[in-house]
């Protein structure tokens, strides 16, 4: 706290990113990075860059990258936005589509008289923990809707009047996916309130459910699908993401970006991300490898008596009746395996474990059974 901080800085509670340890010997299963290297096409494209061109600003429109993404999905370039990681796009989207009511101090809205305000943004109580942070930054009221007892998002909860909805699909940290058809129903209900539904598809490449194929034809013009290069494209260090939606939604994101920083995606990132997205074979191969490892490890953990939520992502969310989350986390860490734990009601005994290489996961499994035999 400082006398120079304004009230906004004083009131926000920033997101805490997963640890990036300097100790490179740790097996890092804590931030859902991909254990495989980026496509060889990325190496090639970066090698070909004329370093002299770094004198110049990058293309603010990210034209080549957006064209490449548009060609993969069969949409128009005007329906694609490129950003500096999907976190940035989500931050812009909160600013572009959700409304701050006059004289509102941001925060969670509770209580009968307030809980159906037309301005209130809705998202699950257990989801990506950046959402309440963006809401606070933009001074938005929000409502956290409890997941069901079996950790599912109940679509009917999101039919109510709102100022907008954001859903991670698959959800994080549960890994559980919703059917795209259920999201379409939410979007149809929200359309009556002129509200946008943001679908954060950071992990959709590891599921068989993306909303994007349903977006063409313009029928669902209040849905924005947000993606990242950090997970399925093995480019977390690059900072690149994209969104797909109607040209009107994309134009709104551009208006926010150009009121902030027109050049958020640098030249190296545009080049590397374009090469990655065009290498479909490599993308499919690495996603399939991660999925196969996820399935193998999930069933082994089941045999050891773990509760493993049905994951459609590149991580699993697990707990064991004989282990407290805090102890289990520490025991793994002391033995060189870093996972992620969220100290929140209902999930404090779970660990979120990123799917690593088969070798990493075998070491992890061995530690799990040792933890149980102690």
Binding mask 165-194 for ligand PMP (x = CB under 6 A): ---x---x----------------------
Count of Cβ atoms closer than 10 Å to residue 3 Cβ: 4
CB of 352 to ligand PMP, least distance (A): 10
Cβ distance 231 to 202 under 8 Å?
Answer: yes
244: β partners: 80, 225
Residue 170 beta carbon to ligand PMP: minimum distance, rounded to whole angstroms = 8
Least separation in angstroms between residue 111's CB and ligand PMP is 28
Here the tokens at position 354 are 């990123």
Contact status, residue 366 vs residue 317, Cβ threshold 8 Å: no
Confirm if 321 and 302 have CB atoms less than 8 A apart.
Answer: no
Considering the complex, state which of residue 172 and residue 351 has its C-beta at the smaller distance from ligand PMP: 172
The alpha carbon dihedral of 231, 123, 243, 241 has a sign of negative
Q: Does 200 bind ligand PMP (CB under 6 A)?
A: yes
Q: How far is the CB of 179 from ligand PMP (least distance, A)?
A: 18
Give whichever of 226 and 367 is closer to ligand PMP, judged by the CB atom.
Answer: 226
Size of the site for ligand PMP (CB under 6 A): 12
Q: Which is nearer to ligand PMP, 236 or 368 (CB)?
A: 236
Residues 308-367 that bind ligand PMP (CB under 6 A): none
In this structure, are residues 215 and 245 in contact, taking their beta carbons and an 8 Å threshold?
yes
Q: 307, 318 in Cβ contact below 8 A? A: yes
162 contacts ligand PMP (rule: CB under 6 A): no
Q: Which is nearer to ligand PMP, 17 or 218 (CB)?
A: 17
| CA separation for the pair 326, 331 (Å, rounded) | 9
Distance in Å, CB of 340 to ligand PMP, minimum: 10
- By beta-carbon proximity to ligand PMP, the closer residue of 128 and 283 is 128
CA gap 22, 156 in Å, rounded: 45
CB 309 within 8 A of CB 175: yes
Nearest by Cα to 98 from 117, 81, 119:
119
Q: Could you tell me the smallest distance in angstroms from the CB atom of residue 39 to ligand PMP?
A: 17
The contact pattern for ligand PMP, residues 213-252, with x = CB under 6 A and - = no contact, is ---------------x-x-----x----x-----------
CB of 54 to ligand PMP, least distance (A): 23
Query: In angstroms, rounded to a whole number, what is the distance separating the alpha carbons of residues 140 and 121?
Result: 7
Question: Site residues for ligand PMP, window 98-137 (CB under 6 A)?
Answer: 128
CB of 228 to ligand PMP, least distance (A): 3
Binding mask 59-98 for ligand PMP (x = CB under 6 A): --------------------------xxx-----------
30 lies in the binding site for ligand PMP (CB under 6 A)? no
Q: Smallest distance from the beta carbon of 304 to ligand PMP, in angstroms? A: 26
The one among 202, 243, 276, 353 contacting ligand PMP by CB under 6 A: 202
In angstroms, what is the minimal distance from the CB of 322 to ligand PMP? 29
| Nearest to ligand PMP of 79, 87 (CB atom) | 87
| CB nearer ligand PMP, residue 87 or residue 360 | 87
Per CB under 6 A, residues contacting ligand PMP are 85-87, 128, 168, 172, 200, 202, 228, 230, 236, 241
């Amino acid at each position: 706290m400082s006398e120079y901080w304004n009230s906004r800085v004083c009131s926000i509670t920033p997101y805490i990113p997963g640890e990036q340890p300097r100790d490179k010997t740790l097996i890092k299963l804590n931030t859902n990075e991909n254990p495989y290297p980026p496509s060889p096409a990325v190496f090639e494209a970066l090698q070909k860059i004329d370093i002299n061109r770094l004198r110049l600003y990058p293309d603010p429109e990210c034209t080549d990258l957006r064209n490449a993404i548009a060609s993969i999905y069969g949409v128009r370039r005007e329906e694609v936005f490129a950003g500096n990681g999907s976190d940035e796009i989500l931050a812009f989207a909160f600013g572009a589509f959700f409304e701050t009511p006059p004289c509102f101090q941001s925060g969670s809205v509770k209580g009968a008289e307030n809980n159906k305000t037309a301005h209130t943004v809705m998202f699950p109580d257990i989801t990506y923990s950046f959402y309440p942070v963006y809401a606070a930054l933009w001074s938005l009221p929000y409502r956290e809707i409890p997941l069901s007892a079996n950790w599912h998002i109940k679509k009917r909860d999101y039919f109510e009047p709102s100022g907008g909805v954001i859903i991670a699909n698959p959800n994080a940290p549960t890994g559980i996916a919703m059917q795209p058809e259920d999201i379409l129903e939410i979007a149809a209900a929200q359309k009556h309130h002129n509200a946008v539904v943001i679908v954060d598809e950071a992990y959709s490449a590891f599921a068989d459910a993306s909303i994007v194929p349903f977006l063409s034809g313009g029928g669902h013009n209040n849905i924005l699908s947000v993606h990242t290069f950090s997970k399925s494209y093995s480019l977390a260090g690059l900072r690149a993401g994209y969104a797909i939606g109607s040209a009107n939604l994309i134009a709104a994101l551009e208006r926010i970006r150009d009121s902030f920083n027109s050049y958020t995606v640098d030249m190296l990132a545009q080049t590397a991300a374009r090469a990655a997205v065009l290498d479909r074979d490599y993308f499919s191969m690495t996603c399939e490898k991660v999925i196969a490892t996820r399935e193998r490890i999930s069933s082994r953990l089941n045999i050891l008596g773990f509760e493993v939520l049905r994951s459609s992502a590149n991580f699993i969310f697990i707990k064991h009746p004989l282990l407290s989350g805090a102890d289990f986390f520490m025991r793994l860490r002391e033995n060189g395996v870093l996972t992620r734990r969220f100290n929140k009601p209902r999930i404090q005994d779970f660990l979120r474990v990123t799917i690593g290489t088969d070798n990493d996961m075998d070491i992890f499994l061995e530690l799990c059974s040792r933890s149980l035999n102690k």
